Structure 1
C-alpha cells in the first residue's frame, strides 16, 4: 500500500505544482485585460471569463512593441524616452541597471552567464555552483592578478545570490549549459542532468 501511495505522489506532486505555477502565470497575465475599457473586456461581450486571453494580449503587445522598436521612428521614440528617464535622479539608476542586465541576458550580446563555474564557497572546503559574469575595468585594474566575476545563486530561488571576484586560478570551469546548472540549483541537487524513463521504485 505504501509503495502505491508513494508512486501516486510521484505522479501528482510534480503535475500539481506545474499546473499551479501555470495558473499563477496565466492569472497574472490575464490582469493585463484590465487595461482595456470595460466595454472591450471579453467578459462584457462574451458573458464569461476565458482564462488565457490575457496571455494572448500580453504576447501581442510584446510582439507589436518589438515591431515598432525596430523601425526608424520607433527607435527614435525609444531613444527619446530613455534620454528623458536618464534625467530623473532615482529612476535612472534603477532603469539603467535593470536595462543593462536584461540587455545582457536576453540579447545574447554580452558575456554574462555564459559559463558555469565551481568556486570555493562558503568556506575553503566547500564548492558551489556559480555563473561567470563581467569584471568592470575599474575593478580589474585594482586586482593584482586575473580574477573572474561570479554570481553564486541561492537555492531554490536563483534570482537571489552573492556577487564576488575570485582568482581565475581558483575556479573550475564546468562543461555544462547554464540551464542545466539552474536545474540543479532550483531542485536543490535532486534533479539530475539526465532524463530517466519511468519511475524509480
Structure 2
C-alpha cells in the first residue's frame, strides 16, 4: 500500500472517529447535564438544609455520636423537586420567558457552543418540551414486504429534501439509546392510535419483551 493510500485511509478513519465522538456527545450530553444538575442541587441543599432546620427548630433534628446533625431522609430530594418545579414555573412567566428566549438566541448563534447547545435542546424538547416529537408511534415498512418496525413520526413533511410524499420517521434500536432516521412514503406507514408513545418506546427498546397495555 502506498503512502497516499495510507494517508487517505487514516483520514477516513479519523473522520469516522470524529463523527462517532460528536454522536456520542449528542447522546450523552442531555443525560450528563441532567444528572450533574440534579446531583449538584441535591448535595448543595443536603449540605445546608440540616443547619437551616436546626436554626428554626432546634429540637427537631438529632445529633450523631460526632455531634453532627442528622438529616431527614428524603427531605433533600423533595426540596430539589420543588425547586425544579419553581424554576419551571418562573421561567414560564412572560418577562422571564423573554430573557430565556434572548439567552437561547445568543447561545444558538455562538460559534462552537451552538452545535452542542442546539443538539441538547432539541433532544430534550423532543421528549418533554413544547416541541414533543416522540409522541406519534407508527408501524413503518422500511425493509421487505410485510416486515414492519416501530417508529415515531418526527416531521410530517420532508419537502425540504425534495420528497413531497414522505414523512420523517425515527426508528429506535433495541437495547440501545440509538436509532435511525428514515424518509418514508406515507403509504408505508400505519398509525398506532391505541398504543401510547411510552409503551411503543418500551416495547422497542426491550426487544419486544415488555407487554403493551
Q: Could you say which TM-score interval applies, normalised by the shorter chain?
A: 0.5 to 0.7
Q: How does 1:177-188 map to 2 (within 5 A)?
A: 177-188=196-207
Measure, in 1, the Cα distance between the counterparts of 2:79 and 2:159.
42
Map of 2:114 onto structure 1 = 92
| TM-score, normalisation: structure 1 | 0.64
The reply to whether residue 124 of structure 1 matches residue 133 of structure 2 is no
Measure, in 2, the Cα distance between the counterparts of 1:188 and 1:95.
31
**Structure index of larger Rg:** 2
Aligned-pair distance for 1:77?
A: 2.5
Map of 1:42 onto structure 2 = 50
| TM-score, normalisation: structure 2 | 0.61
Aligned-pair distance for 1:64?
A: 1.6
Map of 1:172 onto structure 2 = 190
Map of 1:149 onto structure 2 = 168
2:42 counterpart (8, 33, 57): 33
Measure, in 2, the Cα distance between the counterparts of 1:30 and 1:101.
21
2:95 counterpart (65, 73, 86): 73
Query: Does the CA-based 8 Å contact 1:69-1:75 persist in structure 2?
Result: yes
Alignment size in residue pairs: 162
Aligned-pair distance for 1:131?
A: 0.9
Q: 1:104 to 1:184 in 2, by over 3 A?
A: closer
Q: 1:136 to 1:57 in 2, by over 3 A?
A: farther
Q: 1:137 to 1:96 in 2, by over 3 A?
A: farther
The gaps in structure 1 that reach 5 residues or longer are 1-25, 195-201
Query: Does the CA-based 8 Å contact 2:158-2:165 persist in structure 1?
Result: no
CA root-mean-square deviation: 3.2
